[in-house]
């Protein structure tokens, strides 16, 4: 596996289940370390970066997002303790989470709290899977990293919300480098480059149109998901 990601661009990674997508992107924030070769950020091996430098540079939204027991505000400030309410609301708007956060109320009587002060249960079990994903995306945006990594982070969203969120990301995170692991082809058709993985190897690289024209593995993935009208 060898590829470069230009600053400010979007790179998508796609492949069948077990092809190595999540393992690959986990090397960037050092959830694993590569046993050979190097992973570089701005030309510097990630193993040479201080943990604080790496966490400031890279924000990962995992495949199974986890929220902590506490208020929405406390969850949003996890990677940016001094983030203002304005910055938090801007991130929630981008992540398509602002409306349901405004509508949330937890507790009763004097203990009742709403909006950013409403409480989340450990693991975020009191919100839906899609809401959990959107809150996790907002939390990553609040941290204002240089690199955003999404590990199949749109899978629980309906197609309309997915499209709205990606359009909002284009506006709010312009200039931020994005790496997107996806199962759904429709999520990545506009990526600057798409990396196709198969059994831990890169078997294709290019734009959606380029891969559709000359990469059999990518075409098979597309054919399994999209109608002829969608592809057009």
Q: What is the pLDDT of residues 200-232, one digit of tens each?
A: 999 999 999 999 999 999 999 998 886 644 555
How much is the average pLDDT of 128-132? Answer: 92
CA distance 102 to 118: 9
How much is the average pLDDT of 27-45? Answer: 93
Comparing 104 with 112, which gets the higher pLDDT? 104
Residue with tokens 């992540």: 95
Tell me the average pLDDT of the chain. Answer: 91
**Backbone conformation region of residue 84, classed left if phi is above 0, alpha if psi is from -120 to 50, else beta:** beta
Give residues with Cβ within 8 angstroms of 91, minimum separation 6: 76, 138, 139, 141, 142, 172
Question: Which stretch of 33-37, 104-108, 119-123 has the lowest confidence by average pLDDT?
Answer: 104-108
How much is the average pLDDT of 68-77? Answer: 95
Decide: 7 and 177 in contact? Cβ < 8 Å: yes
Residue 64 DSSP class? S
Q: Does domain 10-231 have CATH number 3.40.50.300?
A: yes
pTM, entire model: 0.90
Decide: 149 and 58 in contact? Cβ < 8 Å: yes
Domain locations in the chain? Answer: 10-231
Helix axes 129-142, 159-172, angle to 10 degrees: 0
HSE-CB for 110 with a 13 A CA cutoff: 0
pLDDT at 20 over 80: yes
């Amino acid at each position: 596996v060898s590829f470069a990601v230009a600053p400010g661009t979007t790179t998508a990674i796609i492949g069948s289940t077990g092809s190595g997508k999540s393992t690959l992107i986990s090397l960037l924030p050092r959830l694993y370390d590569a046993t050979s070769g190097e992973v570089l950020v701005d030309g510097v091996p990630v193993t040479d970066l201080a943990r604080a430098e790496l966490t400031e540079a890279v924000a990962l939204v995992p495949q199974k997002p986890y929220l902590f027991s506490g208020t929405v505000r406390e969850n949003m400030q996890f990677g940016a303790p001094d983030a203002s309410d304005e910055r938090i609301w801007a991130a929630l708007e981008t992540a398509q989470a602002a409306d349901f956060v405004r509508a949330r109320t937890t507790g009763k009587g004097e203990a009742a709290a709403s909006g950013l002060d409403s409480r989340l249960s450990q693991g975020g079990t009191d919100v839906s899977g899609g809401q959990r994903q959107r809150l996790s995306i907002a939390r990553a945006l609040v941290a204002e990293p240089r690199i955003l990594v999404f590990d199949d982070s749109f899978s629980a969203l309906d197609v309309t919300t997915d499209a709205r969120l990606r359009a909002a990301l284009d506006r709010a995170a312009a200039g931020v480098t994005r790496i997107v692991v996806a199962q759904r082809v429709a999520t990545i058709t506009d990526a600057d480059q798409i990396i196709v993985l198969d059994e831990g190897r890169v078997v294709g690289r290019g734009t959606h149109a380029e891969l559709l024209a000359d990469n059999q593995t990518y075409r098979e993935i597309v054919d399994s998901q999209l109608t002829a009208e969608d592809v057009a």
